């Protein structure tokens, strides 16, 4: 008899558990006491060849593949922190996430992952006062083309101003990019607004603390590493009489990688290549009659100027092996852009240009 009662008790327990599971799965209006409570959302980046996805700062060679993983930080019903992500392994801040606390989110159509980049605007700001610097801000750009899944493609391609959408290099494989994600949980299919959402650091928070969030600097090899990594950062042009406190703020934004100052960026480019402004030797050239040889008389990283306009040679795209008007340059005029030589220097035939070659590595 006792065995029969024990068997009946086991069946009641199993049946009750089954009913509870069905209710929690199919009746969204029933509050699930075991559901995880969202705390925050993060972006983790995993470069090809690495084993652990992580947030924070990343530096990659331009063209190295990577993926972005959405991460939902949550509290379970016992108060323990759990991490939902498709990442194979995870590091957030200074902490390696234990494998037991990392799990994929169950297949659920009531969850939507929204991907963003966070970029500075406008492209160029003349800073003569604190009020001028207030024009500089960060804004979030939504990327619906990346889908609504927990994994997004690794894309750099910082957005430039609208008139640069016809850039000859698209998508841009180098530059500075910051990523953000929003994870929305809906009560039922077809609901217009989520019942819960988790977000990462917003644009305003990143401006106050640039070390937060996930950011990437993808660079070309030398001699263009420093310049290529600065694409996507707005230019701040401090005035000569700028207040010391405002000038310090401009410098801190540049050091944090949120913006650049033209003179400092050119100086860093020269220093990267073993030179300095006072060591450059400028020689006049006339591209209408003279076509310096790429790799010998001219090459990537060399400087070309006419009056106040300065560009840096990027790529031989016109006549093969020769510097000519169809070649591509990095234009450092009120922001960083990629343009053809003849888009910048449009003077009459015989326009006087000056070329300064960087030191060439031996061999």
Residuewise pLDDT in 10s, the chain (363 residues)? 455 666 666 566 655 555 555 544 444 333 343 467 899 999 999 999 999 999 999 999 999 999 999 999 999 888 899 999 999 999 999 999 999 999 999 877 788 999 999 999 999 999 999 999 999 999 999 999 999 999 999 999 887 543 455 567 778 899 999 999 999 988 887 788 888 889 888 788 888 899 999 999 999 999 999 999 999 999 999 998 899 999 999 999 999 999 999 999 999 999 999 999 999 999 999 888 889 999 899 999 999 998 888 999 999 998 999 999 999 999 999 999 999 998 888 754 556 799 999 998 765
Each domain of the chain, given as residue ranges in start order, spans 1-31, 37-124+137-219, 225-272, 277-356
Distance CA 268, CA 266 (A): 5
pLDDT at 5: 61
Write down the pTM of the prediction: 0.85
Question: 214 phi and psi, to 5 degrees?
Answer: -120, 125
**Confidence (pLDDT) at 67:** 98
Please report the pLDDT score of residue 25 as a whole number. 47
């Amino acid at each position: 008899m006792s065995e029969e009662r024990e068997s009946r008790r086991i069946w009641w327990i199993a049946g009750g558990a089954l009913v509870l599971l069905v209710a929690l799965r199919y009746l969204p209006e029933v509050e699930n006491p075991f559901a995880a409570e969202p705390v925050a959302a993060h972006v983790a980046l995993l470069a090809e060849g690495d084993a652990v996805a992580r947030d924070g700062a990343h530096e990659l060679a331009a063209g190295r593949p990577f993926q972005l993983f959405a991460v939902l930080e949550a509290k379970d019903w016992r108060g323990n922190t759990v991490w939902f992500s498709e990442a194979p392994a995870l590091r957030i801040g200074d902490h390696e996430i234990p494998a037991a606390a990392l799990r994929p989110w169950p297949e659920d159509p009531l969850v939507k992952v929204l991907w963003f980049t966070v970029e500075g605007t406008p492209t160029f700001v003349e800073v003569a006062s604190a009020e001028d610097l207030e024009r500089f801000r960060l804004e979030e750009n939504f990327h619906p083309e990346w889908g609504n899944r927990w994994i997004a493609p690794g894309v750099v391609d910082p957005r430039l101003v609208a008139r640069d959408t016809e850039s000859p290099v698209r998508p841009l494989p180098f530059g500075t990019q910051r990523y953000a994600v929003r994870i929305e949980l809906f009560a039922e299919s077809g609901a217009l607004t989520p019942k819960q959402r988790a977000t990462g650091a917003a644009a305003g928070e990143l401006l106050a603390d640039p070390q937060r969030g996930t950011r990437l600097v993808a660079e070309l090899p030398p001699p263009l590493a420093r310049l290529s990594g600065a694409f996507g950062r707005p230019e701040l042009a401090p005035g000569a009489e700028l207040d010391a406190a405002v000038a310090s703020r401009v410098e801190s934004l540049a050091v944090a990688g949120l913006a650049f100052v033209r003179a400092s960026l050119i100086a860093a480019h020269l220093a990267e290549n073993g030179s300095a402004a006072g060591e450059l030797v400028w020689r006049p050239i006339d591209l209408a009659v003279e076509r310096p040889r790429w790799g010998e008389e001219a090459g990537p990283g060399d400087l070309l100027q006419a009056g106040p306009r300065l560009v840096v040679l990027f790529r031989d795209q016109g006549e093969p092996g020769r510097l000519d008007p169809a070649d591509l340059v990095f234009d450092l005029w009120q922001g960083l852009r990629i343009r053809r030589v003849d888009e910048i220097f449009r003077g009459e035939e015989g326009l006087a240009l000056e070329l300064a070659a960087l030191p060439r590595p031996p061999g």
